[in-house]
Structure 1
Amino acid sequence: MTDAAAVEPFDAVDVIRTKRDGGAVGEDALRWMIDAYTREYVADSQMAAFAMAVLLNGMTRDEIRVMTDAMIASGERMSFAGLGKPTVDKHSTGGVGDKITLPLAPLVASFGVAVPQLSGRGLGHTGGTLDKLEAIPGWRAALSNDEMVAQLRDVGAVICAAGSGLAPADKRLYALRDVTGTVEAIPLIASSIMSKKIAEGTDSLVLDVKFGSGAFMQDIDRARELARTMVALGTDSGVATTALLTDMNTPLGFAIGNANEVRESVEVLAGGGPADVVELTVALAREMLALAGQPDADVEAALRDGRAMDAWRSMIRAQDGDPDAAMPQPNETHVVTATESGYVTSLEALPFGIAAWRLGAGRARAQDPVLHAAGIDLHVKPGDAVTVGQPLFTLLGQDATRFDRALEALDGAWHVGSNAPASAPIVRERITA
């Protein structure tokens, strides 16, 4: 705690009132607010009031830039300047079946670009990249900064846990937003994501901002606003940033879980895999490589000729994982079949994400373990023709007692109709500064 006798240059109540009344908080006052909160001089109750005022009244572009910079200044800032090659990162706002980081990082690295992918764990219905990779026997998420830099130099790609030294102010504010109904505030989401990404020290950044049933932002207009805010933040901070708005109404790929999503990612790296996963992986890889100075890179060729797979195997081995090891298998399965013939018209992402979570693929609390073999394997996607009795999806679990609650979550989550739905591209828009 800060010494009570110290004279502070600003007062939290004044900052809260300014934002409450719709005003813009001055740069010095806003930097002080974030710093004083990190020092625990500003109380949680005061920061909660400020966060609610931001939710209700918004922030100017300049305020968001200052707040993000103050959050970066609360901790360490990494630098990859000594690597001698460009660095580019990707951040996804999260979804159901979103395993894109796994094939994307080694794919981009196979072009001689460094990909420092500091990732997180899943909470609720959105899966965590680290949880997926921990299904690989021996693989470890925690790396020192020295190990990380060495791996970027030698292998080109690293997917690991972010250190506690990056944007510690965000860690406190993130937890507070979760319990005060202020998670949805776009300035707070943008500054949270971008403070960590900018502190990470990447030269350039591609954002995968999702909308739809299984996304954090269900409304495309809100997702677009978030994407524009984050692109502006990156640009204002000297990080070349672009964003793709992508559809998350249907789960990505056929696998939802951890071990099964790793298997599906390896299929993509082997030149196969589901069309939607390949489409989004390729689109993001092109964006990343363009920012890194290779706009004409033949991304599909690297998937076909084994270069991306070689980079994947090197990346997994560098973190003590065995790329050839058998993956965890479920003890119990339950197949759901079609009760009528026709075309699959919808598979809603959110209920499938919740069902996989209830099977044990996700966690309700940060400290909960995940069951790596649990999840759901889809056998069809919207537009596919089905007949009565044809398998639609299979629940995977450690024990059958979890199946009823998972099926409860899936009630009404898929539909079969007489007409095939029109297909829509996954990538809807590209947003640049």
Structure 2
Amino acid sequence: MDAIEVITTKRDGGALSTAQIDWVIDAYTRGAVAEEQMSALAMAILLNGMGRREIADWTRAMIESGERMDWSALDRPTTDKHSTGGVGDKITLPLAPLVAACGAYVPQLSGRGLGHTGGTLDKLESIPGWRASLSGPEMLAVLRRAGAVVCAAGSGLAPADHRLYALRDVTGTVESIPLIASSIMSKKIAEGTGALVLDVKVGSGAFMKTRERATELARTMVELGADAGVRTVALLTAMDRPLGLTVGNALEVAEAVEVLSGGGPSDVVELTVRLAREMLSASGTAGAKDPADALKDGSAMDAWRRMITAQGGDPDAPLPTAPETHTITAPATGVLSRLDAYAVGLAAWRLGAGRERREDPVSHGAGIVLHAKPGDTVHAGGPLMTLHADDPSRFPRATEALHDACQIGPTPAPDLLPLIIDRVG
């Protein structure tokens, strides 16, 4: 078998055999298939697609390229959540300890942000002392102590995906749903969780701009989970406007702590509770305590403090703040009918909250605080949002990104997406 045979099979619209997929993933991981050859294959997959059996084989082969984690030593079921990413999406922060407080273990491997969507690890690293890199035994110890752990994936987990992910980013093949789904699910299945809930974002601030594409991705990932024996469900959720009232690392941590304290923005609370219920149901642990009650009685906050402390962080330490602020005001009085998520995310990125290259640092204090959401009444000259940055020279370009982000009218826009659009699985 050789790479040319595999490439031409898919180029000509054929289905790759199990043997072809096993060979090409293994050979690429070992360096026996050149980058330009895998680039050609990725483009052929983008153009011609893959069937369910092919995607399942591709995902399994990527899992088998590395190690698979095992949580059988734990005395309760495990469950996890994955979000496809969005603006202000800090849900993992309150969700993991909330589910732990309700009776399930949550071993969550997360990533850092690239572009306008912030990464969970970047947010948590704004907490003084908190460590993202843990060994397997350290993860198990944190789980036993706190019920939840959020940390970085090691290089031994689906190494084929690490190489392919970087390649897709520079070859125009990121948009392929088979490759997106297999990338996400290979890591999540290798993580060893017993149940998985997917939060697939839809809208301008999401990777999937339309409900149709998001539904296709959700269905593909749910099928992959089922084929691998992992109970998987997906929610399609709105990302046409930012989630919550903060965008940026430390700002989002502070908002997550508000939620864990029994407050916080209603959309963040609603989505956190709904995802928690889905995770508990999928893992078979629903019923011990309802997530809404765990937010009110302090048990979710207790789990958060244990989780942060177990990973070296100080939950009582002050969070970083940016020294410079700039407030954008409403140009007219009326109802804020539109607040474009992508524009807000781009502005936060320009303020320093995100990174352009993986090796770039982020500013933990940079970001945006929203003073109004779509549907709220605003007054001319009143604050719409406050920009936070380490350097005031960043404000002009951030403000430029927000030029057409808001629309103010006599009534709310009728076409806003519902927060929770659909459920798959």
Shorter-chain TM-score bucket reads over 0.9
Structure 2 residue aligned with 1:145 = 136
**Deviations for 1:373-427, whole angstroms, at most 9, x for unmatched residues?**
0000000000001111110000001111000010111110111111123465311
1:349 is aligned with what amino acid?
A
Cα distance, 1:116 vs. partner? Answer: 0.5
What corresponds to 1:229 in structure 2? 220
CA distance in 2, matches of 1:424, 1:375: 24
Distance 1:222 1:329 in 2: 38
**What is the aligned partner in structure 1 of residue 174 from structure 2?**
183
Please state if 1:335 is matched with 2:327.
Answer: yes
Partners of 1:421 and 1:354 in 2: CA distance: 22
Correspondence list, 1:8-27, <5 A: 10-27=1-18
**C-alpha displacement at 1:346, in angstroms?**
0.6
Where does structure 1 lack aligned partners over 5 or more consecutive residues?
1-9
Pick one of 201, 216, 241 that aligns with 1:210: 201
- Of 287, 302, 315, which aligns to 2:294? 302
C-alpha RMSD of the superposition: 0.8
Asked whether 1:401 is paired with 2:396, we answer: no
The answer (yes or no) to whether the contact 2:371–2:383 under 8 Å persists in 1 is: yes
- Secondary structure, in 3 states, of the residue corresponding to 1:137? coil
8 Å contact 2:102–2:290 — kept in the other structure?
no
- CA, structure 1 residues 229+30, in 2 after alignment: closer, same or farther (shift >3 Å)? same
CA shift digits 1:126-177 (9 cap, x unpaired)? 0000000011111110111100011111211000011110000000100110
TM-score (norm 1): 0.97
Residue-by-residue CA offset, 1:68-110 (whole Å, 9 max, x unaligned): 0000000000100111210000000000000000000000000
1:294 Cα offset (Å):
3.1
8 Å contact kept, 2:90–2:120: yes
1:380 maps to: 372
- Is 1:220 matched with 2:211? yes
Residue pairs, 1:128-207, within 5 angstroms:
128-207=119-198
Q: Map Cα deviations across residues 311-340 of structure 1 (whole Å, 9 max, x no partner).
A: 000000001111011111111100011111
1:33 matched to 2:30? The reply is: no
Q: C-alpha distance in 2, partners of 1:62/1:84?
A: 34
- Cα distance in 1 between the residues matched to 2:367 and 2:355: 12
> What SS class does the counterpart of residue 352 from structure 2 fall into?
helix
- Determine if contact 2:240/2:417 at 8 Å carries over to the other structure: no
Sort the Cα spacing of 1:424 and 1:15 in 2 relative to 1 into closer, same or farther, 3 A: closer
CA distance, structure 1, for counterparts of residue 410 and residue 282 of structure 2:
45
Correspondence for 2:101 = 110
Is 1:317 the counterpart of 2:312? The answer is: no
Unaligned segments of structure 2, at least 5 residues:
none
Take 1:397 and 1:67, find their aligned partners in 2: how far apart are those partners?
A: 43
Corresponding residue number in structure 1 for 2:403:
411
SS at structure 2 position matched to 1:83: coil
1:213-244 deviations in Å (ceiling 9; x for gaps) = 00011111001000000000000001000000
Deviation for aligned residue 1:111: 1.6
Partner of 1:426: 419
The aligned amino acid for 2:275 is L
Which residue in the other structure is 1:261 paired with? 252
Paired residue total: 423
Question: How big is the shift at 1:292?
Answer: 1.6
- Three-state SS of the structure 1 residue aligned to 2:259 is helix
Aligned partner of residue 430 in structure 1, secondary structure: strand
Q: Contact 2:80/2:108 (CA < 8 Å) preserved in 1?
A: yes
Using the alignment, how far apart are the partners of 2:380 and 2:403 within structure 1?
18
Tell me what 1:361 maps to: 353
Task: Measure, in 1, the Cα distance between the counterparts of 2:417 and 2:50.
Answer: 34
